[in-house]
Structure 1
Amino acid sequence: MERTGFLIFLFLLNMLIYCRGYWKVSGSCLDSERKALTIFRKALNDPSNILTSWDDEASGCCKWRGITCHNITGFVLKLHLYNLSLSGRIDPALVELKHLHFLDLSNNAFYGISIPQFLGSMKELRHLNLSYAGFSGRIPHQLGNLSKLISLQLSSSSLSDKNLWWLTSLPSLKYLDMSYVNLSMASHDWVHVMNMCPSLVELRFIECGLSYISPTLASVNFSTSLHVLDLYGNKFNSRIPKWIGNISSLVSLNLSLSNFHGLVPYQFSQLSNLEELRLADSLSANSSQLLEGSWSRMKLLYLSLSNMYGGIPNSIGNITSLVDLELLFEENTRGSIPRAITKLVNLEILSLNGYHMHAIIPDWLDELKNLKQLILANCMLTGPIPAALGGFPFLRSLYLNGNQLNGRIPSSLGGLSSLEELLLQENQLNGTIPTTLGKLSKLSELDLSYNCLTGNVSESLFENLKNLNILDLSSNSLLFDPHPDWAPPFQLNKISLGSCHLGHRFPPWLQTQKHVGILDLSNAAISDIIPTWFWDLTPQLSSLNLSNNEISGQLPNPLKMHPLDTSDIDLSSNNFNGPIPCILNGAILLDLSNNQFSGPIPPNFTSTMNDLVIFSAIGNQISGKIPSSIGKMKSLLVLDLSQNNISGTIPLRLGDCVDLVALDLSKNHLSGRILTSLGLLHQLQTLHLSNNSLSGKVLSSLKNCTRLVTLDLGQNNFLGHIPTWIGKSFPDLRILRLRSNMFTGNIPPQLFNITSLHVLDLGQNYLSGSIPQSLQNLMAMKNEQKMDHFLVNGTGYYYKENLLMSVKGQMLEYTRTISLVTCMDLSINNLSGEIPEQITSLLGLRVLNFSGNHLTGKIPNKIGKLVLLESLDFFKNQLSGTIPPSMSSLTFLSYLNLSNNNLSGKIPSGNQLRTLQDPSIYMGNNDLCGPSLPDKCDSDETSQSPMPVGGDVKKYDEAHEMVWFYSALAPGFAVGFWAFCGILVLKKAWRIAYYRFVDEMKERLLYSCRFARC
């Protein structure tokens, strides 16, 4: 016993001597490790000063943020530095942490540097997490030296690797996550590499660009260890390999959106341990057969039935363990909800988003008493919301948005005491908002937008809604005008009350909202001066929409917005005045259009708006020049400064906005030439420079804008010939407007090679020569155009095309319906020759205007083939011959002008021409005659019997009637006689019946005569 005690004493003494020799203690950690951490800290950039505790050496490194030490030895074991916005570099001093088990640098900002190779020498590491840390480049294969590694997380879209065989040197690896890493070059053998890691428990390769998956494996080494396999979002163009169905230990399987096809392997039905199965948009199968497997432990089922045969099968009810059922559907996928779903007594989540049922919501859904989420959005549901939906005691989310539900919102929904989200937007619900919704004390989101709700919204509705964060009542006919002293019980993050009537004053209760980030009060009938306190809210706003009111006042300069650089500001269609302010913290959308802003665009405007994507200031009183600094706005997609008083030239630096898609500078006072720098705008789709004083020739540099859809240079002073390259350089051009310039020469035949062109306006120039015969090549004018709300792609709802055209004798502006207009206007030029017969092949034409030229010859006989024509103007030419009778076939024609020509003969009658009785349509054609002209045609006069002068009107009418009587008697007798005789000749049975009838009548007459004599 004494000897044992002595040995223990010696052991402890040796340990003490060892420790004294090894340690130079500073606080509670080793001197060497503290120094290494200090060096590591100096190489980092810490913008938020989160690691200030590391500067306190007296406290010891074990008390520094993110560091965990051993309780006895003081060795640094763990380094938790995730999500701290750290940047800079990783100093090799980190290697001095000899006992480090855990290193987490995830969610930081080490941009521009690679993963350090020296990490591979930290042999004690068990857990390494570098996901989303900003590292880029190739993954260093030195990480294969970490033989004790259990968990490796490298998720990042900036990393890549061509060879994964280094992973086979990690025998203890259980958890591997390389999601979003580019593994496309390692696609051919990744399965075989993973098969040599027999300890794997979780494998996540989400969106890695993998394109090959081995169809067979001799043996699956992780068949009894792998619990999680996540291959979401890859590019496999193959069948699902059978070996996946042999991994009996699988608990979670995700093959969604990975381009698998064919049938689900039958082995899948044997995965009895599977608790989570995600196969959305990745397969096709008989849904009934798939769901008849041994799913005894299934809790989550995430499928896309759009790629499977059949709808939701009744066999779904056999998976009684299901807790989460989420089924995805493509557009127009139809079916019904089988009542067998009610067998899923444990179901907490039921999501059937996009399943077109075209039916009412079944009442029996309330049998699923454990539901926490019910998502039936975009399902084409009809009828009213059943009152039975108010019977779910645990329901937290109810999504019925995007359907065709009608009727009132049932008051029973107020009984959903656990409800947190109620989404009923985009339906046809009517009536008032039930006050019982005010009982939903846990409600955080209420969205009733885009319905037909009416009535007053009472303050009492919100008394108990203390947890409300999102309120959206927009696009209804609601009146919400609470008392000026009302203090809401909630603090909202989103307020959307667009198209609700909020009273004429600006809502004072907004002053109480300290956390609102999205505010929409558009079209709310506000006609107040904006209060000064409102601008104290904007620094927290990321979205502000006050459009379509009558709000007046000036904006603060500068205007502060939320510093996320993602804010959008829409103040359009109000009465704001004063100068345009600078926007601090930037914005991506700024719409100041249709106000009364004046003065120049400030020179420093662009300094804080470098991230601006949409800038619209149409319809103001802005003057001065466009600042050259506009070229600094590299993110700009839409620039619309039309309808202002801007002067000067187009700035050269505008060509630096290389992403510009829509440029509209029309209706200003710009002068000078089109600069060659505009040719740098290769993404440009619409260019409006009309109604200015621009001059010179159209420079060939514009032909580099090959994506142009609209080119409008009208109402300027451009001269020279119309460039022939227009017909070659713009294959997608739909609108070409060169109206009211000084172009000369012939119309280039190349223009008619633009097959997509449906508006061609060359009116009011000095063009000469004949109309090219090749106009039948205008394929888009041969068909009726369809509605296209966005001619300009990539700008969303923020830019709507507009165009001024001469239609029906007046200048009309087209906006929303411009895609439907098919127009050819060559009016007021010096064109000569005949109208080409090929014009009649353009069957989609709605507007045709050749007026004010020197055209000769006849109107094409087949002009009536243009059945969609609404406006036809051949005024003031030298056309001759008769008006083609086919013109009476133009049933949509509402405007016609053939005056001041040399037309002759009778005006055709019938159909739409009967409604066009204005004599001015045909004036100046001395040889024309017809009902609407003073000169009646001879045939019209002789067709009537003139009443003798001074004759008796009654006798004249009687004589007229006798003429009609005898005129009709002869043909009537002939038709009746031969119709009767023809039937007797052709029908034997009728002949017999007729002769029998004659005999009977003869007998009756004889009998009558005898009786009369008696």
Structure 2
Amino acid sequence: MALTISSGEISGHIPDQIGDLPDLLTLEFSDLTHLTGNIPRTITKFKNLEYLRLKKTSLSGPIPDYISELQNLSFLDLSFYQFTGPIPGSLSLLPILQSIQINDNKLTGSAPNSFSSFVDNVPNLYLFNNKLSGKIPESWAKYNFNAVDLSGNEFTGDGSMFFGRNKTTIRVNLSRNMFQFELSKVKFAKTIVSLDLSHNGIFGEFPRELTKLRLEHFNVSYNHLSGKIPSGGVLQTFEPSVYSHNICLCGAPQSHTHLLTMKLLHLCIFLISLSSSYSCTLNDKNALLQIKNSLNNPPLLSSWNPQTDCCTSWTGVACTKGRVAELTISSGKISGQIPAQIGDLPDLLTLEFSELTHLTGNIPRTITKLKNLEYLRLSENSLSGPIPSYISELKSVRFLDLSFNQFTGPIPGSISQMPNLEMIQLSDNKLTGSIPNSFGSFVGNVRSFYLFNNKLSGNIPESLSKYDFIAIDLSGNEFTGDGSMFFGRNKTTLGVNLSRNMFQFDLSKVKFARTIRTLDLSQNHIYGNFPKGLAKLRLERFNVSSNHLCGPIPQGGVLQTFKPSVYSHNICLCGPPLKPC
């Protein structure tokens, strides 16, 4: 079923006799620097092979076309070799391929046009560190890649086809190429957590929607970008180096070294002022000054000077055509409550009060006047009391984050009636009760759902099984019953954390989405054997400890790469990395 030869003093070629193991599902030769030659033709006899990893050897020559005869292959890794020549277009004929890793070789030529007609699945695509060149076929724009890495090549032209607001892409790395496109016109998938566009010829200004992304890795250095980096979200949390060596960026975070010299910074401000003749309206300025006064005129808001334009020089304020569109007050010594005057900024799209440990009270009713609000983050404060049901009157909100506060009581079922809601983040509060039954009929398209570290309990409504969440985290509560409804072979889920609850279900009956990268089921009452489908997942984080699981851990894939502790405190699990069965 599986043959793995790795990290040893082995020399020679891959033997032709490898084809005489017709029932192989997994074949791996890796970390064998003296393994040379090419991939033998006899490998095509593996009609059942699902996982092929020939990594970090000294194999050379072209990647053979006949690799496409492995019709059951779901994972192909030929990385870190000496392979030369073009990428075989026939790889697109593999009907269930989920991942292509042919990075770190010496491949040349362009991206195959045939890759615009994958037979079925659209695989993760890793082509980085080769000598590939030319333009990406426009037909690739129709694909919804989970992850794509083309870095370290010589690609040219437009690379923006990998983006799209309705896609579910997680990671994109186009760095160290010669791509040219206008960043301000790009629509980003809300699911992206890693984005590297550095060392290209990308131009234009930052689109505001970048502030809505929950980026963990980000780099746009060495391009031709200009203008102001929008406030809000996580863009200000990155080091200045990720913005460096652009034409005229300003507003980036400061550290021990400045992103721009003062001369260039002044030039940027001047150019931005030329691009807009709008000044802050009197109504908005007065509302902001009242907000400042209600918060006892904190030093954090010292730049809010009534003699200056609130759209150009006030901390945390950004405008569109003279109207305040973004208000971000974060990480300062502010005490008091959220001012009622917040409702007097009718054009707000983004509102954030975060990391303000002395901000208390509840959410004022006047917030419902913000009919255009899309992004609401009231996180890491000391807000308390129940989450008000009138929060559902914010019909334009897409991103709702009330995490890390002291909110109590039940989750308002009315949240399900927010028609544009995409992410719910209510974690780390003191919420009680169960998940509202109304959550089984979301009006909006909720894809990310975070309730971890509360005091929630009860069974999960069965109606939630119909939803295809990208990420869900219910950990650290007291939920009971069946939690398997969050899984499904045809879903596109990336992360599931059900740990530290009291869920009970038979793991052997669960069908997992092939997209899952993080899975934590630890500290529950989950029973049964491991399903073989787990061995096919490209898991990056995994834990099933402290359950009632039994039987052998399936071999193949990455299950053997995790520490024994992720399997500990079960009834009778066995097999690598645990003791033999």
TM-score, normalising length: structure 2: 0.52
Q: Relative to 1, partners in 2 of residues 1:258 and 1:304: Cα closer, same or farther, differing over 3 Å?
A: farther
Q: CA deviation at 1:281?
A: 4.5
1:610-656: per-residue Cα shift (whole Å, max 9, x none)? 21222212222223x333x23323695556011121255x33xx5xx
Aligned match of 1:929: none
Listed as ranges, the gaps of 5+ residues in structure 2 are: 1-67, 69-87, 91-99, 114-124, 135-148, 156-173, 180-196, 204-218, 230-238, 282-297
Q: Which of 439, 452, 469 matches 2:398?
A: 469
- TM-superposition CA deviations, 1:159-207 (whole Å, max 9, x none): 349xxxxxxxxxxxxxxxx972399xxxxxxxxxxxxxxxxxxxxx952
How far the C-alpha of 1:471 sits from its partner, in A, is 0.6
Of 415, 418, 440 in structure 2, the residue corresponding to residue 489 of structure 1 is: 418
1:424 aligns with 2:418: no
> Alpha-carbon deviation of 1:508?
2.1
SS where residue 151 of structure 2 aligns? coil
Separation in structure 1 between the aligned mates of residue 259 and residue 102 of structure 2, nearest angstrom: 49
CA contact (8 A) 2:512 2:533 kept: no
Report deviation, 1:517. Answer: 1.2
2:111 aligned with 1:181: no
Correspondence 1:630 to 2:555: yes
Q: Could you tell me whether the CA contact under 8 Å between 1:613 and 1:638 is conserved in 2?
A: no
SS of 2:453's partner is: coil
Aligned length: 374
Alpha-carbon offset, residue 578 of structure 1: 2.8
Contact 1:115-1:136 at 8 Å conserved across structures: no
The structure whose residues are more often strand, as a share, is 2
Aligned counterpart for 1:159 among listed residues 153, 160, 163? 153
Structure label with greater radius of gyration: 1
Residue in structure 1 matching 2:482, options 537, 554, 558 = 554
Distance 1:469 1:181 in 2: 34
Task: Name the residue aligned to 1:542.
Answer: 470
SS in 2 for 1:534: helix
Pairing 1:646–2:576 present:
no
Picking from 425, 435, 452, the partner of 1:522 is 452
Q: Percent identity?
A: 21
Deviations 1:712-733 (A, max 9, x none): xxxxxxxxxxxxxxxxxxxxxx
Q: Is the 8 A contact 1:300 1:323 kept in 2?
A: no
The Cα shift of 1:601 comes to 2.4
Structure 2 CA distance for partners of 1:158 and 1:258, relative to 1, 3 Å: closer
Cα distance, 1:498–1:610 mapped onto 2, change above 3 Å = same
2 CA distance for matches of 1:256 and 1:489?
34
The reply to whether residue 618 of structure 1 matches residue 548 of structure 2 is: no
* Deviation readout 1:749-774 (Å, 9 max, x if unpaired): xxxxxxxxxxxxxxxxxxxxxxxxxx
SS of 1:321's equivalent in the other structure is helix
Aligned to 1:361: 301
Q: 1:448 pairs with 360, 372, 378, which one?
A: 378
The answer to whether the 8 Å contact 1:389/1:412 transfers is: no
> Counterpart in 1 of 2:499?
572
Task: Give TM-score scaled by structure 1 length.
Answer: 0.31
How does 1:205-284 map onto structure 2 within 5 Å? 207=199, 281=241
Corresponding letter in the other structure for 2:199: E
Q: How does 1:296-695 map to 2 (within 5 A)?
A: 301=250, 306=255, 321-323=270-272, 359-362=299-302, 364-365=304-305, 369=309, 371=311, 376=316, 394-428=323-357, 429-463=359-393, 465-479=394-408, 481=410, 488-513=417-442, 514-537=444-467, 540-556=468-484, 559-560=487-488, 563-564=491-492, 567-580=494-507, 581-586=509-514, 587-602=516-531, 604-607=532-535, 609-623=536-550, 625-627=551-553, 629-633=554-558, 636-637=561-562, 640-646=566-572, 648=574, 650-651=575-576, 654=577
SS at match of 2:542: strand
> Which consecutive residues of structure 1, in runs of 5 or more, have no partner in the other structure?
1-44, 46-86, 90-108, 120-131, 142-154, 162-177, 184-204, 209-227, 231-254, 260-273, 285-297, 326-343, 349-357, 377-387, 655-664, 673-1014
Map of 1:812-851 to 2, 5 A cutoff? none
Q: Which residue of 2 aligns with 1:271?
A: none
Alpha-carbon distance, 1:527 to partner:
1.9
What is the aligned-residue RMSD (CA, Å)?
5.2
Higher relative contact order (CA 8 A, sep 6+): 2
1:883-919 deviations in Å (ceiling 9; x for gaps): xxxxxxxxxxxxxxxxxxxxxxxxxxxxxxxxxxxxx
String of CA shifts for 1:661-698, please: whole Å, max 9, x gaps: xxxx6xxxx578xxxxxxxxxxxxxxxxxxxxxxxxxx
Taking the TM superposition and a 5 Å limit, the aligned residue runs for 1:72-151 are 88=89, 114-115=108-109, 138=131
Secondary structure of the residue aligned to 1:413 is helix
Q: CA deviation at 1:436?
A: 1.3
2:540 partner letter: V
Cα distance in 1, alignment partners of residues 178 and 415 from structure 2: 56
> In structure 1, how many angstroms separate the alpha carbons of the residues matched to 2:457 and 2:256?
53
CA contact (8 A) 1:281 1:307 kept: no
Amino acid at match of 1:180: R
- The letter for the 2-side match of 1:410 is P
Contact 1:320–1:345 (Cα < 8 Å) also in 2: no
Query: What code does the residue aligned with 1:442 have?
Result: N
Q: For the residues of structure 1 that align with 2:127 and 2:573, how far apart are their CA atoms?
A: 47
Letter in 1 for 2:270: S
Q: Which one-letter code corresponds to 1:572 in the other structure?
A: S
Query: Do 1:572 and 1:591's aligned partners in 2 also have CA atoms closer than 8 Å?
Result: yes
CA change 1:509–1:391 in 2 (3 A) is same
For 1:550, give the aligned amino acid.
E
Letter in 1 for 2:482: Q
Specify whether residues 449 and 392 from structure 1 end up closer, same or farther in structure 2 by C-alpha distance, changes over 3 A only.
farther
Q: Deviations over 1:843-892 (max 9, x none)?
A: xxxxxxxxxxxxxxxxxxxxxxxxxxxxxxxxxxxxxxxxxxxxxxxxxx
Q: Check the 8 A contact 2:252/2:259 in 1, yes or no.
A: no
Query: 1:559 is matched by which residue type in structure 2?
Result: F
CA contact (8 A) 2:227 2:268 kept: no
How big is the shift at 1:560? Answer: 1.7
8 Å CA contact 1:457, 1:479 repeated in 2: yes
Distance 1:137 1:310 in 2: 31
Distance 1:601 1:412, change over 3 A: same
Higher helix proportion (structure 1 or 2): 1
Residue 318 (structure 1) shift:
8.7
Distance in 1 between the 2:132 and 2:527 partners? 57
**Cross-structure match for 1:341:** none
Aligned partner of residue 527 in structure 2, secondary structure? strand
Instruction: Summarize the Cα distance change of 1:411–1:617 in structure 2 as closer, same or farther, 3 Å threshold.
Output: same
